[in-house]
Amino acid sequence: MPGVSGTARVDVTEDTLESTTAAPEPRAHTAALDVVVHYLRMICSWPEGRGPLARVLGEYFLPLTFAASGVPQLVYFGLGEHDNNVELFGFLADALGSSLCCFKMIHLQRHAVTIMAVREILDDFTPMERSLASQALPLNEHCERRSATLLRRYIRTYSVLSIIGSFFMILAVIRNDPWYHVKAPRYMMETRPLFILMVVISTIELYVFPVAIGVFDGLVITLSLHIVCKCDVLVLMLRQAVRRDTDEIGLQDAAEEWERLRLCAVYHQHIIRLHSASESIFCTIALCQMFYILFGLGTPLFRMLDKTQEVVPQDIAFSAVYVMWTFIQLFTFCYSGDVVAKASTRLSSATYASFHPSLSGKDRQLGRIQHMIVLRAQRPLFLTAGRLMNLTLKLFQDIMRRSYSLYSTVINMR
């Protein structure tokens, strides 16, 4: 992948840095990415070590189960069996959600190479942190524990949603009410083989859902936390790189300062590459996610308002689960982008604080590296949705507000 696969390893010379005999030896912190690989292997979505059957299941069959679950709604709409605009709005949201799940799973498989490149980038950070291992190690370990824990919790949360969805599907079969869990043409529901096929597809989809969707959403915040951690480590490196008594720097000290600033510049370049790799994984899906959530947040309310009979507790429970799913996804993307933006702002401030114009006259190379770091830090790092909008908590607020406005408009069109 351009800008990622060309990452070069950095050798840190021992004579240019402080002695670190007492400091703990830094290591690569990729436990969360190992969790990602582990779960992707479970659903045959990791390209390494797969046989022909596993490759067919992972690349074609399992992703298409998500797409197939959206076909009945589209046929239902094409035949004109929907009653009003509220119902049309609801099953369009279901079709969009199913398609988005399919895209996420396919996207994870296609970006397996990018995930491996991210692991290499994280490995390349390690030798550059040797001069302040005692300070960087706690930050890295905290990031590793937090990201791995959050990733597992995302998968468990989506597993709970999957179990609840399976319960409602079984309840629909027991009640002999196939329309309880999906909208489809009448002939498909009344034809037993077609109905059984739909139930089987839904079962497979619910099995894959926690891993495919939980891993993707968990990976968003995992890579965001790694970017934040590396920005914080670079802030420490910048504080150590340039001393306050710049007028008293000798020739030997200037050489040491040059080496440290060079490492800061290379470290910053690796952060930019890590950010670019993260953007390539999430950018397109994030844009689709924002459009889907505009519809998905109001869908349960549309359905309850459209019911002619009394609303039962099962309807409320299903609506709560549906809203919980869309809300978690929206908050995950916007919160991840927000923490990256704030970390980038802190890095920019620290870069300006460490800049000493007086060094430019003493050493042109040192001043040139300083100027390069400052110029790069002027451009904040943002996770974006389709490179059209920045993922921040402000966007989260705007989408919530627009979803409510859209909901009000559709209700008025009933």
pLDDT number for residue 227 = 93
In this structure, the strands spanning 389-390 and 384-385 are: antiparallel
Tens place of pLDDT per residue across the chain (414 aa) = 444 544 444 444 443 344 334 445 555 677 888 888 888 888 878 887 778 888 888 878 888 777 777 677 777 777 766 666 666 666 677 777 778 888 888 888 888 888 888 888 888 888 887 877 788 888 888 888 899 999 998 898 888 888 877 777 777 677 666 554 566 677 777 777 777 777 778 778 888 888 888 888 889 999 999 999 998 888 888 777 665 444 444 444 556 767 777 788 888 888 999 999 999 888 888 888 888 887 777 676 666 666 655 666 666 777 777 777 888 888 889 999 999 988 888 888 877 776 666 555 555 666 677 777 777 777 788 888 888 888 888 888 888 887 777 666 666 665
pLDDT on residue 157: 86
Q: How many CA atoms lie within 13 A of 225 on its CB side?
A: 25
308 burial (CB, 10 Å; 0-12 / 13-18 / 19+) is exposed
CA dist 414 and 410 (Å) reads 7
**Nearest by Cα to 58 from 70, 40, 75:** 40
Q: What is the 3-state secondary structure (H, E, C) of the chain?
A: CCCCCCCCCCCCCHHHCCCCCCCCCCCCCCHHHHHHHHHHHHCCCCCCCCCHHHHHHHHHHHHHHHHHHHHHHHHHHHCCCCCCHHHHHHHHHHHHHHHHHHHHHHHHHHCHHHHHHHHHHHHHHHHHCHHHHHHHHHHHHHHHHHHHHHHHHHHHHHHHHHHHHHHHHHHHHHCCCHHHCCCCCHHHHHCHHHHHHHHHHHHHHHHHHHHHHHHHHHHHHHHHHHHHHHHHHHHHHHHHHCCCCHHHCCHHHHHHHHHHHHHHHHHHHHHHHHHHHHHHHHHHHHHHHHHHHHHHCCHHHHHHHHCCCCCCHHHHHHHHHHHHHHHHHHHHHHHHHHHHHHHHHHHHHHHHHCCCCHHHHHCHHHHHHHHHHHHHHCCCCCCEECCCEECCHHHHHHHHHHHHHHHHHHHHCC
Q: Name residue, tokens 């402080």.
A: 18
CA angle centred on 38, ends 36 and 41, rounded to 5°:
105
Q: What is the pLDDT of residue 13?
A: 42
Closest to 347 measured CA to CA, from 371, 319, 316, 378: 378
pLDDT at 224: 92
The token pair at 51 is 């046989």
Question: Residue 225: what pLDDT?
Answer: 92
Give 138-141 contacts, CB < 8 A, sequence gap 24+. Answer: 139/229, 139/232, 139/233, 140/26, 140/29, 140/229, 140/233, 141/29
For residue 66, give the nearest of 108, 15, 20, 113 by alpha carbon.
Answer: 108
Question: Contact, 314 vs 171, CB < 8 A?
Answer: yes
